[in-house]
Every structure is written in structure tokens, then in C-alpha cells.
Amino acid sequence: MGVVVSNFHLAKITAEEKVKLTSGKDFWTSEHLADKGIPSFRMSDGPHGLRYQALAADHLGINDSVPSTSFPTASASAAAWDPDLIQAMGKAIGLEAQSLGVDMVLGPGVNMKRNPLCGRNFEYFSEDPFLAGKLGAAWINGIQSQGIAACLKHFAANNQENDRLSSDSLVDPTALHEIYLEAFRIAVTESHPEAVMCSYNKINGTYASDNLYLMTQVLRQQFGFGGAVITDWGALNDKVAALNAGTDLEMPGDDHLFDGEALQAYQQGTLKLASLDRAVTKIAEIARKQRPKFQGSREQLLQANGQLAQKIAESAIVLLKNEAALLPLQATDTVAVIGELAKATRFQGAGSSHINASEIVSVLDGLKQKKVSFDYAAGYRLDDQDDSQATAEALALARNHDKVVFVAGLPDNYESEGFDRQNMALPKVQNDLLQAVTAVNPNVIVLLVAGAPVELPWVDQVKAVVNLSLGGERIGAAAANVLTGAVNPSGKLAESYPLKYQDVPSADVYDKKPRSVPYVESTYIGYRYYDKAKVPVAFPFGFGLSYTSFALKNIQLSSDHVTDDQPLTISLQVTNTGQVDGAEVVQVYVQEQQPRPLRPEKSLKAFKKVFVKAGQTVNVALELKAQAFKEWREQTQTWVLPEAQKAIAVGTSVTNIDAVLPVSFTGETFNNFATIPNWYTTLSGKPSVQDFEQLTDQKVPAPHEFVPGEFTRLNTPREMKKHSLLLRLVAWITVKIRTKDYIDKQGPEAKFQQAIVLDTPLIRLAQQASGALKLSMVDRLVAAANHQYVKMIFR
């Protein structure tokens, strides 16, 4: 760990210097005061690998970065259900950061997967806060063990990409604390990150950067966070309000755009001295740590980290279906491989976490390395255009081979930071071809390559499905090892796979009012909804098959009574009843014995991945503290044991439970709401905005189309350009400049850039422009949209 340098005297720093320190110097570094003993510190993206930019810097995954290891994205690595592996990833990224002189890595992301269409879901671990929190804590402990700071993100309730810089997440207090803040609570209390990144969005009417309740009362006082709060790049709303609320550092460097008004506010007494001193102190603590110097060969490090990336991918691959033991492949099988994604295999998402991978192994590459004999046909195009010749070649190949490995998934431009998916479907050309292939060959194995769930209309027609997710730079090698049986799959889904998008509880409201976002389903996201509502899914949370079989036996509790000072121990035996060595994940849920409002039927509270040799038995023990049974009490801002009947459910997925063991405790009666509509108990049908309004006693604002006279700095070019020729011209030029280097104008990077330019409020664009866009220019553009530009000229 880093050591804090001495000789720092806060009293010797002037007010001007203090304010200066609270804004970044440039895109990746903080300001410094050399004569006051405060150096700058260097930050870099990202959660599943280091995106270090030595030259032109940006936060958007656009400009080139130094080659680094591209680990499986969070959506993939979470399926390993293995904190030790995630901690090893954090440690490896920390060593790469050391090798490039990076002080802080921006990650991990522990936001909830509220809806499968969120374009950034590939960067987040799970729909479950306990799993996400535990994995996030492991990643942070790994990277900070190497003396590199982690920046936990995005705090909080950042669950969509469309209008993410303007949206208002309207969340009831039970859902806010038990679902959307819980992963942050776990990560902060168990790993103590040096920094937390505030999100772009509002939460219940207040921007995250200005949110005194979240930044101070919750994060610092309730969670005990002792580090610095850093804004997402361009997420600062009001510098004075942000500092007073608990935000410390504005990023990126914006030529100190707001320092003047902050200094004036300090002189007038509206910016509190205590707030400014807190921010300076937190920034200085990070900057003044002596970080370890890298010892060794970066080339050897990348090689070792590539091997670790493959190991994580192998542990995270989920076998979803395997009829008639079609897998693993046999040496005598004749194999046809179909799919453009087999050759150009996606292994990461687009946006700020985009890594310049040091090595890329496609599915075809992996099969060749494994010396698997196969014939290949692309079959479909990634631009979604029909290709009759490619289809014919694929069908001819499928007819003449024993087994077909069909690689299906989402092309690059389907999911990215900056925009949400439009639906949950795979490209039509892939679905059509896959169904045609199953008509000529029943032995089809589908490899899924996507960062989030997709609809599987052909799932009953294929015999095997393997979920690769976005498995990092060596995903092809990992896939080949699983397909051939060199590795026994042990991954488990960290999110539910709905049968169809309309089954998702938030489907009727998600992205319908992107600026005012009522979380109408409250606590019922993911399996918490499907399980209690008895809505069937394609594959449930926690599910995953193996090439062997397991039995859970002799499941017992150390006590059936819960107290604050005595954890419960669940003991059991896991037996490998098959013929192949493998690993099983024991999952422990707290289960409601009687239906209660806002209470899921089950909630994950413990898990352990256990390796067991064929025919052998392993003893397993898991611990549950009283916190596992507690619920949020809004009136007292505390967690308390409720007056309720609960049990411990032990199994291998949320729907495959081997034992339910009742527990008792002395609880309190309380209610966070004056009125609770019936839906939040019965889950009959879908939740409505009216249900949410009745639950929270607040009115959800109707969608509003801005007109000239209403525009401010917080409006976007997309909203303003239809009323202003000048805005149209500026937006067009900016998009052209940002996408000029892209040959594929429909690719994910170009699409991401277009969304960033058109959907970022003007003042945020100025913040991200490093001084190139002045406040006076912003005000002129706003005036033009308000049809007031001529008046400004002649004043």
C-alpha cells in the first residue's frame, strides 16, 4: 500500500489555491501545488483493463491507448462467482498501472442491471447487489494491494445510458438502500476504496454531484467512506453545491471553468470553509501517497495477465444447455463452425472501457490452437444485410458435418456506453440462419457472444447453448478448452435471462420518459421479480450446467436463532456424483415465509465456489451475519431486524433449492410508506406509474418538449438544434470532427460519438472540452436557440 508523504500544511494554502485543487489539470491528472507539497496524480480507465493514453487523451474510448490486457468484462467475470479470481484481476490491473505510472484506475462499476437494454450493462456485475458488492470489493482489494487507488463507480442509481446526463432516477427509499446503494455499501465497508465516482444523473431530483444526502449522510456517515469523491467526466452540476454536498474533485480539467464562481462563493460565505478544506485534504491524501514502483518486465507481465484473463474466462463460461451430452466435442466428430463472430469474436464493449488488447484470440483461433479439425463458413454479415451466398455456404456445410458450432451474438454497434439497446433481439439475419441450420442438422451448439441477455427464439431447436458473454482477449482459447472438455464449465448466470423483453418488470417504462425515470418496480428487479411473480424465464439467476453432476447433502445450521452478536454457520457436503472433476457454486438465499409488500421471495446473501474431484465429497461452511436478515428503516436511517418469518434457502440457483431451513429472531414493526398499493405485494400484472406515485406520494413529471425561451445551459444540442440553425451547424461540425477518423460511420465508436455530442448538455460539453468551449460561447448558443442571439449582438 502507498505511504502518505509528510509536510502538508493546510493552513498555508490560499483560498485561490484550494479552489484550484478541486478541478482537474487536464483530462487525466489532478492539479498540483509543488511548493505546498501536493503533487498531481494520474488516473486512467477502466474496470476490465487499463486504458492508458500516452498522447491524445479522451474519456470515450476513442483515441489510441497503450496495449494492455483486456480481461473479461464485468458481465462475464461475474459469472465465475469467484471473488478470489476477481481479486487476482484487480491485482493484475494494479501491476499494469504501476508499470505505466498510473496512480488511480477508474473502477469497478457496481451499478445494478435494472433492465437488460442498458447499453453499459457489460461493465456491471449483476442484477443482485450482494453479488455485485462482493465482487466489487474483491476487485478493489486486489488493485489496492498493489498500492494503486480504486475509484468505485457510478454512485448512484445510474441504470440507463440514454439521457444519462440529464435523467432523474426516481427511487423509493427501500429500493434505493436495499438494491441500488447496497453494492456500494458492501464494497466501501469491505475494501475501503480511495475514491468513489459520482454519476451524471439526478437521484430524486438532485444531481449526484450536488446530493448532500448521498455524498455525506449515506456515503461518508453511514458507510464510513474516508476517501475522495470524484465526478464522472463532466458530471459536475454546480461547483459550490457539489463541494458543500461532499464532492471533492471535478474531472476532467476544464481550464478551471467554474473556479471563479467558487472563489466568489467562498468569499461571500456560501461555499463553506469546512467543505473546501475537506475536499483539499481528500485530494492531497491521494496525491501525496508514495505509490510502489514497478519491478520487472512489462512484456512478461502482459503475458502472465493474458493467461489470467483466459483462466477467468474459462471459469465464467456458462453452459446453459447440453442435450444428449452433445458437449464436449469428441475427436471423431466432424465439426462445422458457422458465424462471422467466430472469426471476428467480440470480447469487450465500446466506450470509455475500450481496451487496446495486447492479444486477441478469436473462436476460430482458439479451435486452431486446440488442434480441433473443423470447416468454417461465415453464414451471416455483421452489418445485418442479407447474403444469400453466405447462407447457402453455411447450410451446405451444416448438412455434411456431425455437429455445428454456431457463434451468435450482438455486433459492436448494438451495445455501448452512451446509448441503450432498442430491443433484446439478436440480429434477424442470425436468428433466421440459425433456424435454417437446425432444420438441416439437429446437432447444433450455439456460442453466445454478448454483454447482456438476448432473446433466444430458437432455444428449443438447438441441443447446446454456451454463454461466452464478452470474455476478454483470450475468449477464443477459453471457449475451445470448454468445447473440447479440457475445461469443465462452472460458470453461473449473474443475471436472469428472460424469455422475452416484455417479461421484464420495467419494460413498459424503461426509456419511455428518459428525463424523469420512475423505478416503478421498486425492489423487484431481476430474479426478485421473476421468482415471486412466477414469471418463467429462459434461464434463471445462478444457473449453469457442468459436464459432471453434484449433490448437496447434510445441510445444517449452527443455530436457528439470529442475533446481532452471533453469526449463523451453514454447513453442508458437496459431492461430485459424476465422472469429471468440476466446480459447483453453493448459493444461500434468505427466503420470506409469508408474502410481504416490497419483499422478494428470495435474496442472495452468501455463496461459495467449490472444486470437487469426481466421486469425492467436500465439506463446506458459509457464514451469515444478522445483516443478511435486516431491512432498511427510512424513518431512523438504520438497518433493523423486521417482525417477519424468514428462512435460509440453500441450492445451486435461485430456482434449484435443496433445503429450506427456518430461522427465528426478535424483530420490529415498521413501515416506510403511508400507503402501499397491492401490486407491491401480489405482483399481479405490471407495475404502473400510478402505483409508484401512490407508493412514494410524489408526482412523476410528464415528458416536456422545450421550446425557444426555455433553453438553458443544461439543454442538449439534440433538443436545441431544431430551433437554431447555428446549433445545427455546430452539432454537425462537432460530430464530423469527432468521427472523422472512422471508416465505419455506423460502427460503435462513431455511433457513441454522435450520441455524446447530441445528448450531452451544452455546459457538460464545455466541461469536457478542456477549455476549448468557453462559457461565453455556451451562452451565445443558448441565446441562439432561444431566438435571442440578435439581441445579444446589439447590446
Q: What share of the chain is helix, strand, coil (3-state, %, to 5)?
A: 35, 20, 45
First to last CA, the chain: 59
Alpha helices in 156-249 (DSSP H): 173-175, 182-191, 212, 239-245
CA distance 497 to 509: 19
Grid coordinates representing 243 are 463541494
Q: Does 420 qualify as catalytic in the annotation?
A: no
CB 742 within 8 A of CB 340: no
In three-state secondary structure terms, 596 is coil
SS3 421: coil
SS3 611: strand
Those residues with Cβ within 8 angstroms of residue 207's Cβ, 6 or more apart along the chain or in another chain: 200, 201, 235, 237, 238
Chain centroid, CA 178 distance in Å: 18
CA 360-362-363 angle, to 5 degrees, is 155
782: Cβ contacts below 8 Å, ≥ 6 apart: 711, 712, 713, 715, 720, 762
- Which run of H or E residues covers position 143? helix 129-144
- Alpha carbon distance 360, 472 (integer Å): 8
Q: Quickly tell me which residue has 409508484 as its cell.
A: 692
Contact at 8 Å (CB) between 465 and 439? no
Spot the catalytic one: 128, 232, 248, 511.
232
Enter the DSSP assignment of 586: E
Q: For residue 610, what is the DSSP state?
A: E
User: Can you tell me the distance from the alpha carbon of 143 to that of 192, in angstroms, rounded to the nearest whole number?
Assistant: 12
CB 103 within 8 A of CB 43: yes
CA atoms of 164 and 167, how far apart (whole Å) = 5
Q: Cell numbers 410524489 label which residue?
A: 698
Q: Which residues pair with 622 in a beta bridge?
A: 570
Helical ranges in 330-376 per DSSP H: 340-343, 363-369
Q: What is the DSSP string of 38-50?
A: B---BEEE-TTS-
Q: Which amino acid is at 403?
A: K
Reported as type and span, the H/E element at residue 621 is strand 617-624
Which has the closest alpha carbon to 662: 590, 731, 735, 716?
Answer: 590
DSSP alpha helix (H) spans, 485-619: 527-533
Chain centroid, CA 285 distance in Å: 28
DSSP three-state, residue 652: coil
Which cell numbers hold the place of 626?
Answer: 444478522
Radius of gyration of the chain (CA): 26
Q: How many beta carbons lie within 10 A of that of residue 577, not counting itself?
A: 13
* Residues in contact with 672: Cβ distance below 8 Å, sequence separation at least 6, in sequence order: 172, 173, 174, 632, 633, 634, 635
Name the residue with cell 468551449: 773
Compute the half-sphere exposure of residue 215: CA atoms within 13 Å on the CB side of its CA.
30
Distance of CA 188 to the CA centre of its chain: 16
Query: CB-based contacts of 269: which residues, under 8 Å, 6+ apart?
Result: none
CA distance 728 to 758: 10
Element (H, E) at 231: strand 228-231
Catalytic residue IDs:
232
